[in-house]
Structure 1
């Protein structure tokens, strides 16, 4: 954006981006840029036509998340990329969640800038990468030496870079196997939850989603209560982005999707990995069933004792 500010100051992104993008856009707004935050559908997907509709002559960047970090929904990147290419606007995507999980082709999608992170593919923490298409204008991240072709000053973290490369190689070698095995476990887990617990809601697209993600709401509960009880049972989950865990408010992603508040405040995100087993999931469902039943019972009892309190719409 800074590299193209002489051509315009309009940026297009979505309401359900990771805070890494949203907060960067907020910072750019303070510098005089104008940002359009696109709405999404009830599954959290960005409509390509919404992108086209909000394009302007002064639009200098489009940034759309490849797959959502909270709900796993995958966006129609080829269609959005075609619109960006037709308009001659640089197209950035936060692919941190998608990289190593699903095939990504910057050629087919027309992506000019692609962000990824090492720890999401079992690599070392504190390391990431940015793909930059040749000829894409880019303002240096920080001033100093001429490292990385003048784009990021500072001595490179060679062990971290090597670790990221090794993790990426393994991720691509195991992509099909992981998708099949972990995807089957995710479906098994979701089916078990539905059988054991009534009135649950799947958040995100039912099919166009990452295979390792399951975001479920348990209306009648609040996520913080559930998370504390799950943690005491040795089960790790979150109520949104791992970066925002512990923040007591509905997920901005679910709010952006137009989810009812009762759904937003009761959402849990479960992420499965290579080490997850059916035994782990059976144990989780067993504990979750009891925890949700108790939470709903206590909340219902509180409502009966205080008739003036109203339930969320």
Structure 2
């Protein structure tokens, strides 16, 4: 699983701070509407708060759906940026697979969150199957990110919460994310809003994270050099730090790194790991192609990859130790 690509890698740890508190709320079932059509799902998405919060604070979304269908139904919950692209930098901290957990005290698995979230037509509760999916174009770029929940034919309602989190080390930022849900039966959209002329927006909601730049103390500014290759090997008391990776430092005769449009990282310590996580390109890095990711715990080793899986021998670095 570990490749042997030659590399000269620069690792930079930058301390960031965690602000704010976690939002919580209660979920209320959406009111159903009568219909002459047999297969039709009414979806309601609501926010726990109308407030704009700072990065690292979770935004709680309530998702409910009601309807009786003749076959099993897929409920897809999409995370989109303002321009309609996939919000790959948003985490749902209560809808993770077991190998994605980095803090078991504050994060939950998909199975835990969706346990008994489905109501069957006989009144009993059931747990659906669910997984995160990424659709990609021919270049390997993620075009949509969504949670796909599969409900059985005898399901009549589902009710659960999503807790979304945005993390960045930028001093000034505004991040808007549209959460949209649609129901599909054999790939046919059976969402009630899609069948109504007014195109109801009950099945979507927008959440916002925003922060303003603050002046940096001279003592902190002096620690950074002009080319950004400083070596701050400390972690804040909250355990949050940012890892940077310069793509162009890889010496690769197969051009996998030069042509890569997505860089990912696999971090691990002892018997724990993050799984493969996507990094995010620093917009102002220009031709240097610098990527970053923020961790909430200290890891001792990392492996960088092109794409987002272990798909080839030349698409990954060797184990790299974080000093």
User: TM-score band (shorter)?
Assistant: under 0.3
Structure with more helix by fraction? 1
Structure richer in strand, relative to its length: 2
Q: TM-score, normalised by structure 1?
A: 0.28
Structure with larger RCO (C-alpha < 8 A, sep 6+): 2
TM-score, scaled to structure 2: 0.27
